[in-house]
Structure 1
Amino acid sequence: MLPFLKSPFKLFLVLLLLGRVAVFGQGEPKHGTKFEQLGPMLHSPNEYRGADGAPGPEYWQQTADYVIECQLDVNEQRLDGNELITYHNNSPNTLRYIWLQLDENQHAADANNQRFEPSSISPAMSEQELRALEPWRELDKFGVNIHEVTQKNGTALEYSINKTMMRIMLPQPLGPGEDFSFRVKWHYYLIDRINSISWGRGGYEYFSEDNNYLFTITQWYPRVCVYSDFEGWQNNQFTGRGEFALNFGNFDVKMTLPEDYVVGSTGECQNYSQMLSGNELKRWKEAQSSNEPIEIVTLEEAKSMEKTARSTKTKTWHYKAENVRDFAWTASRKFIWDAMSYENEGGDPVMCMSYYPKEAYPIYRKYSTKAVEHTLKSYSKYSIPYPYPVAISVEAANGMEYPMICFNPGRAEEDGTYTEGSRLSAISVIIHEVGYNYFPMIIHSDER
């Protein structure tokens, strides 16, 4: 024993001090305690952000623009894509690599979310419960297949994939104010989002009674992660739960699929004159000045289309969207499509629209597009005027939102009747999901 510790009192003081060090050094802080420092949650003010998080005089955001061409094979439920991404480094930092999200890899057999749920065996279990014990056994063909990553001139780029994340090494450092363009070529198989053991927001629903599909194409393309002043690169794994913040940018997207499919999408269609029949185009023009929904594709036309033999010919829909954080679309031979015009608080026209199969007609024809208009009016009154030219509700037996388009429930019974609960559920979910256009699609946030 050291001489100065021979005193019992001094020894007690040393042990007490060591105990306090051990207590304060262990584990992570427990949020909500009275004396926790706010540094981990609320950073000190600087030139980029104030103490309340509001933008400071030197605030910046990164942006990314996308030009995407994709082909949907409806028989194989496969989507092939080729995209050109232009990344704008608006930060004061020099970057040496770029992180991308591969959200569709949440359905791959080795994805984290296929294994992190606890499981147990009960005396009696359903088939679905048994399948959920080892979901990865059914998922061998799913997940994104990256064919190539190249510079704009075709020179190959070095990249590495870690489940739902991909890091691309830049050929030279990307300085402040500089841009970098690169291409990614890929394909993946869509999941049966109704029956798959791997739950997802995007995929397809199969209608066995008429042999048709309804596709919801969401979180579908490799996309650049956020690089921010307070976090640097967001490179956490995506597990299908909380949504990450994304970069705003412009999208130019072409979708090639069978000619008998109707497409609804983020953004504005650039070629309705080639995609629509003469009667459909006439109705579309009428809807642009109508304050009541007009059926662009009617119930009778949709019923007739779903019964006819599938076309082997294709056509390419072309959409553009400006200053959005994401892009989603939908396609089906079953769709009824209605639309009406709404003038936002700033006097700009907005097309409120709905796409839905005949199974949802009794509810959606009466309420969906009017609920979209009501939501825009209400949210604009209490926040900001809706800034986009389109707002869409799609009946797809689920609930999820993306810029200018959302997916909602709302089907009637086979005889066309529906309960008050079904009606109110459809209306409330439509309002809920359309409202997400404001938070987080415009006023940005990160759920993770």
Structure 2
Amino acid sequence: MKRLFVIILVVTNSFILLSQNPVNSMLPVEVKKAYQNGTRTLSGVPGPNYWQNHARYQINVELKVEEDLLIGEEKVTYFNNSPDTLKRLVIRLYPNIYKKGNPRQWPIGDGINDGMVINSLSINGDSIDWNNREAVYLFSTNLSVFLPEPLAPGDSLEMEAGWQFEVSDRTIRMGKYGSNAYFIAYWYPQIAVYDDIDGWDEIEYLGAVEFYNDFNDYDVHISTPPGYVVWATGELVNERDMFSDYVLKNLMTARVSSKITRIFSVEDFKKTRKIIRHDGINAFHTNTWYFTAVHVPDFTFAVRRDVNWDGSSLVVDETTQRRVFVDAVYADSARTYQNAARWARASVEYMSFELPGVPFPYEHMTTVSNDRMGGGMESPMMANNGDPKDSTDAALTIFHEISHTYFPFFMGTNERKYAWMDEGWAAFLPMGFGEKYFPEYPYRKRFVERFEGTNGTEREATLITLSYNLGDYDSYRVHAYVRSALAYYFLRNALGDSVFKVALHTYMKRWYG
């Protein structure tokens, strides 16, 4: 009896201590629930019951250049891998950030328009009545659609949608960058993430915070007027139908050569059939470019004419000898982008063999100059970059945007809530690259000075503060980029290079994809 009393006492005290554990008591309720459900673990590895939903997108879209109008249709097969029965879908309508009356964290001046206009929407063949508030609810950039029949665990549904929106020259991460320059991102009705922490992701897209997507498959046909070339996420399936023999020869050379090859030039556009095989000879006087991409978190594309295209390839995996095609697109007016293909190649090589030291995961990496003075925008296999007048700034911008291939795209982190988990890495990794190629450039010093200006002030937010709650731009930059990059730097110094790299690889192996 005494022994039983001792056992009961020990067990009871254990529960009391567990409940009083300061770490346990500080965990958010939704995270505790994930531990209890076995989808996450306190050790940091995915739980035995971890799951992700995914979708397959089939999209046909046309860019009408004369009207700056994008018109599309899509069929989406959505797979519910969760243990939950879903009674609704949440669909992101990103272009609604431009819609009159909607909130945004980005000034757009006279860029206000009608946002994304939905021309048709159906679920499993049943049309959705927009006037029935029991069927749909639209708030800002999120559209909730209540399902005619709930989606059971392990089941799938088909959603079809037709839409259009004006491509604005008041760019927010995408848009019209000149008379012949478009970068299209945040552009199709996208089913939001449903995960084990929050359920549906209903964070509004206001312009500041960025990605959190499922890993999806894409089958995309992009129609453009004659004379335009399209670069995009994934593989150009019909390249032999689209490009002339002249371009194909140069492209094939670039894909197997370590030497940068000029694939075509601005001069070549004076006779576009030197570039495009059957330029605009179909009944619609358009060209249709067909791309596919598998297991990627998003799809973007660039549409340009009167540009140069340079490219080369390199081995990123010494074991398999797999090569990656790295290329750059820019106008003759470029300030420093003539060297972009070189720096993009050096970036992919550094990331594959030095830090993070993981073979580049995609088959190509395209960087496009948008002719702006600075900044950049990342997406899988694509980057839409500014062209600063300082060549070192340009090289480091190219590196930064390409490094997002790993964080968040390869890893699938939630940038909307935890931007420091990708922007921090993308700000930290150029430190080593800069020391190697630009030893006189004060990259880290600039970060320290930026941090000193905010450190200890009311504008410095705690690390656990969710990124979408940081409306102040300086607070967000320090929180997502500056302080987190310095923290990774200090951690590497504390652990040593080899242990730090082992820790990074362990994290990546556990959570990638």
The SS at the match of 2:410 is coil
Aligned to 1:260: 227
Residue by residue over 1:173-226, the C-alpha shift from the partner in whole angstroms, topping out at 9 and shown as x without a partner, is 11111111111110000111xxx3xx51111022xxxxx320010111111111
Q: Scaled by the length of structure 2, what TM-score is found?
A: 0.68
Aligned to 1:125: none
Aligned to 2:382: 405
The reply to whether residue 379 of structure 1 matches residue 370 of structure 2 is no
* 1:155 positional shift: 4.0
Q: In the aligned structure 2, how far is the partner of 1:269 from the partner of 1:378?
A: 26
Aligned to 1:166: 143
The SS at the match of 1:106 is helix
The reply to whether residue 200 of structure 1 matches residue 172 of structure 2 is yes
Report the CA distance shift for 1:42/1:343 in structure 2 as closer, same or farther (over 3 A): farther
Letter in 2 for 1:378: Y
* 1:434 positional shift: 0.4
Which of 233, 238, 253 is residue 271 of structure 1 equivalent to? 238
Residue by residue over 1:383-414, the C-alpha shift from the partner in whole angstroms, topping out at 9 and shown as x without a partner, is 32222111111101241100000111226xxx
Aligned to 1:363: 336
The SS at the match of 1:430 is helix
5 Å-filtered alignment, 1:47-196, equals: 47-113=38-104, 138-139=110-111, 141-153=113-125, 155-156=127-128, 158-192=135-169, 196=170
Letter in 2 for 1:86: T
Letter in 2 for 1:178: D
8 Å CA contact 1:109–1:139 kept in 2: the answer is no
Greater shift, 281-290 or 342-351, is seen at: 342-351
The SS at the match of 1:432 is helix
The SS at the match of 1:221 is coil
Q: In the aligned structure 2, how far is the partner of 1:52 from the partner of 1:64?
A: 30
8 Å CA contact 2:235–2:293 kept in 1: the answer is yes
Aligned to 2:297: 325
5 Å-filtered alignment, 1:286-297, equals: 286-297=253-264
Residue by residue over 1:395-443, the C-alpha shift from the partner in whole angstroms, topping out at 9 and shown as x without a partner, is 01241100000111226xxxxxxx5xx2111111000000001000111
Q: In the aligned structure 1, how far is the partner of 2:286 from the partner of 2:162?
A: 21
Structure with bigger helix share is 2
Letter in 2 for 1:406: A
Report the CA distance shift for 1:89/1:173 in structure 2 as closer, same or farther (over 3 A): same
8 Å CA contact 1:98–1:167 kept in 2: the answer is yes
Report the CA distance shift for 1:139/1:284 in structure 2 as closer, same or farther (over 3 A): closer
Q: In the aligned structure 2, how far is the partner of 1:35 from the partner of 1:386?
A: 36
The runs of 5 or more residues in structure 2 that have no matched partner are 1-21, 130-134, 273-278, 417-513
Residue by residue over 1:45-98, the C-alpha shift from the partner in whole angstroms, topping out at 9 and shown as x without a partner, is 341111154311111111111110000000000000101111111111111111
Letter in 2 for 1:43: V
Letter in 2 for 1:432: H
8 Å CA contact 1:297–1:336 kept in 2: the answer is yes
The reply to whether residue 443 of structure 1 matches residue 411 of structure 2 is yes
Which of 190, 195, 219 is residue 186 of structure 2 equivalent to? 219
The SS at the match of 2:180 is strand
The SS at the match of 1:387 is coil
Q: In the aligned structure 2, how far is the partner of 1:179 from the partner of 1:337?
A: 41
The alignment yields a C-alpha RMSD, in angstroms, of 2.3
5 Å-filtered alignment, 1:25-44, equals: 37-40=25-28, 43-44=31-32
Letter in 1 for 2:368: V
Report the CA distance shift for 1:139/1:394 in structure 2 as closer, same or farther (over 3 A): closer
Aligned to 1:239: 206
Q: In the aligned structure 1, how far is the partner of 2:154 from the partner of 2:78?
A: 10
Report the CA distance shift for 1:96/1:317 in structure 2 as closer, same or farther (over 3 A): same
Q: In the aligned structure 1, how far is the partner of 2:242 from the partner of 2:343?
A: 27
Q: In the aligned structure 2, how far is the partner of 1:437 from the partner of 1:108?
A: 30
8 Å CA contact 2:74–2:161 kept in 1: the answer is yes
Letter in 2 for 1:181: E
Letter in 1 for 2:154: G
Report the CA distance shift for 1:434/1:188 in structure 2 as closer, same or farther (over 3 A): same
Q: Scaled by the length of structure 1, what TM-score is found?
A: 0.78
Letter in 2 for 1:331: V
Report the CA distance shift for 1:50/1:154 in structure 2 as closer, same or farther (over 3 A): same
Report the CA distance shift for 1:432/1:41 in structure 2 as closer, same or farther (over 3 A): farther
Report the CA distance shift for 1:142/1:337 in structure 2 as closer, same or farther (over 3 A): farther
8 Å CA contact 2:259–2:312 kept in 1: the answer is yes
Q: In the aligned structure 2, how far is the partner of 1:423 from the partner of 1:303?
A: 29
Structure exhibiting the larger radius of gyration computed from Cα positions = 1
* 1:349 positional shift: 2.0
Give the aligned length.
371
- Relative CO higher for 1 or 2, CA cutoff 8 Å, sep ≥ 6? 1
Which of 422, 431, 439 is residue 399 of structure 2 equivalent to? 431
The SS at the match of 2:407 is coil
Residue by residue over 1:217-251, the C-alpha shift from the partner in whole angstroms, topping out at 9 and shown as x without a partner, is 01111111111111111112110111141111100
* 1:302 positional shift: 4.1
Letter in 2 for 1:159: V
Residue by residue over 1:314-355, the C-alpha shift from the partner in whole angstroms, topping out at 9 and shown as x without a partner, is 110001111100011001112211221122224222111111
The SS at the match of 2:256 is coil
Aligned to 1:353: 327
Q: In the aligned structure 2, how far is the partner of 1:344 from the partner of 1:200?
A: 33
Report the CA distance shift for 1:354/1:140 in structure 2 as closer, same or farther (over 3 A): closer
Q: In the aligned structure 2, how far is the partner of 1:37 from the partner of 1:243?
A: 30
* 1:36 positional shift: 9.7
Aligned to 2:432: none
Q: In the aligned structure 1, how far is the partner of 2:40 from the partner of 2:186?
A: 30
Letter in 1 for 2:100: A
Q: In the aligned structure 1, how far is the partner of 2:271 from the partner of 2:397?
A: 29
Percentage of matched positions with identical amino acids: 29
Q: In the aligned structure 1, how far is the partner of 2:351 from the partner of 2:300?
A: 22
